[in-house]
Structures are given as structure tokens and as C-alpha cells.
Homo-oligomer: A and B are copies of this chain.
Amino acid sequence: MKVIPLGTSSGKPTLKRNVSATAIAREGEWLLMDCGEATQIQIARAGLSPNRLSAIFITHLHGDHFNGLSGLLSTMGLDRRERELTLIGPPGMSEYLSTLARLKILFVNYPLEVREFTSPATGAHAGRLIKIEEGRPGASPPSKKEDDFARDIFFSGERAVPEDDGLTVVYETADYVVQSRPLDHRLFALGYRIEERPRPGRFNLGRARELGIPEGPMFSRLQSGQDVKLEDGRVIRPSDVLGPPRMGKSVAYCTDTRPCPSAVRLGRSVDLLIHEATYTKDLEEEARQYGHSTAAQAARIALEAGARRLLITHFSTRFPDPAPLLEEACAIFPDTLLAQDLMEVEA
């Protein structure tokens, strides 16, 4: 997986750093974490194709993580996207989108599924939700009215994510799974963990030939985990020709948050922990008050989680040069990287 920070500034953009958004790219597709204002411009600068975007994950509804959503969704509409898109995040997104659709601010004419997750403790959100459209898109013939700005948005329900040790699966494919858990911010916020499923081991061609397996369909069946029977009656097992299963990579995304057990749980043994570091440690009290972390706190989370590397981001604009944040984190967790807009980090 390749991580591309698209915005690394906290609260408001600067001329060097946009507000929060991070792309996580895999083979042929990518995921978006948060969508601050102007994210669609950063996507273009990074050379990412909006058509290959599979899902958007929003941590919380503060504008600097969310204000770019309307523009990105509408631009994909103008560009005649046809692929379904999934939008995952806290409650309130469907109310927001339904207001925008009603006022004609939004233009979405492709299937958009909105999944909202809350926590048992903040269930107060329930009941405020608005169903933009009942059922699955395509169930009724699409209308062709000129002002039909958002006909394919549908809300697929609200589920709670646990606040105990568990993680909740919020999105999955054959290749990876995304789990979530609430963080500790001053507004309900979700952290995410993307984990690739293990892949079969490498196929040992030399060994297969030694065993006299004919090239062709039997190779595929062994690679997909099935036994094959040769003409001479011998049964070959996948483990005879495949190396050990290859572990997938994993990335966790924890912002905005105070240091909390959820971040440790989400970041457990990940290849890359993306954690906010809004302030330096001399501003720890301010960090606590506004629901943020210092660079030292982010580093201690990475240490406790056993993460392989830490990428700090979401820097207060009071640090035009964030070098002190990196220095502070590295003193505790040496494998720390400082996020820059549009850099690329391999997980």
C-alpha cells in the first residue's frame, strides 16, 4: 500500500499545506481518508484518478476534514462516474448530503452508499437521520429531470462501533478489510485500520517441474489453494509448491484525537501508523483542551502499539516549520516520518 498525504495542516490551509485528507493506494484502486476543502485539487496534483476511488472514510465532521466532500462528489458526477462509491463516517453525513441535494448544491448521479457509524455512548445522534432515498439505487428507473441533482444517494443504515477492545468492520473486499473504532476528540470521531488479507505464498516453478506437474490449469488450482491429482495418481498439495503465505500490509489512521487506547488498538503492529501531532509537548494542556495530541504523545502511541513506522500529520499553523514536532517524536519513536502534502510513503 502507498500512503499519499493530500493535506497535513490543522484547522485551516496554508500556502504549503492543505487541510486533512490522505490517499491510500493499492493495485488499481485507492481509498480516501477525510476530505478537507480543496482535496479534489490535491487529488489532481497527486495524479490519482477519481474514477479509481472506491470508498471515502470520514473521521469527524469538523469542516477541515469534511468541506471538500461536496465538491469532490459533484466533480465525479460532472465527469460521468458510473462506479458505485461508498461513504463511511459518523452520523450527520446523510443529513448534510440531503440538505445539499435539496438546495441543488450537490450533483451526484452515480450510486453513492452512505454508511454511518456511531458509538453506544453517543447514540444521541440516532433519530436525526434522514433517508435520502429508500432502498438500493436502480430499484426504480432513473428520472431524467434537468434539476435531478442527487438521485442515486442512499443511506444504508447506522451501526454502533464498540468502545471496548473490539474493532468493527466498516468496509471490506476480497483483498483487504477496513475496521473502525471511536477516538477521543471533542466531537465524535472515528479512527480506521486498513489491513490487507494474507495472500498465498509464491509459486515455486522449479519445484512444480521437479514434481512433474504439467503447466496449465493445475498451476492455477494449486495457487488458489486446491489439491490436484496427476495422471500417475499422485496427489499434490498447494503446500508442496507454494511458499509461506505472504502477510498483507496494514495502515492505521488516527486523527483528530487525544492519545487514547483506541489509537493503540487501531495501530497494533501496523506497518504504518498515521497519527495526528497538532502540537509540541509544551502545549500539552492546549492539546488536551481541544481534543488533540502532541508529537510526543503520538510517538508513545506508536511505541505502545508496536507500529513499524509512524507518520505524524495535522500540524497547527503555528508551526510553519514542523521540524520540532519531528524531533520530539523521534526522541521517543525513532522511525517517525513527518507528513508533507503529496509525498508518497510505502506501508
Contacts and interface: CB of A to CB of B under 8 A. Distances in A.
A335 B105 CA distance: 34
B105 A62 contact: yes
Contacts of A79: 12
B106 A147 contact: no
A103 B61 contact: yes
Interface stretch (A39-47, A204-212, A271-279, A296-304): A39-47
A103 B62 CA distance: 8
B78 A71 contact: no
A60 to B, nearest CB: 8
Contacts of A75: 11-13
Interface string A75-109: 10011000000000000100110011001111100
Interface in A94-130: 95-96, 99-100, 103-107
Interface in A172-189: 186-187
A67 interface: yes
The 10 closest A-B pairs by CB, nearest first: A38-B38, A37-B71, A12-B75, A92-B103, A99-B99, A67-B71, A63-B105, A63-B74, A67-B70, A61-B103
Interface of A: 11-15, 18-19, 37-38, 40-41, 44-45, 61-64, 66-68, 70-71, 74-75, 78-79, 92, 95-96, 99-100, 103-107, 146-147, 186-187
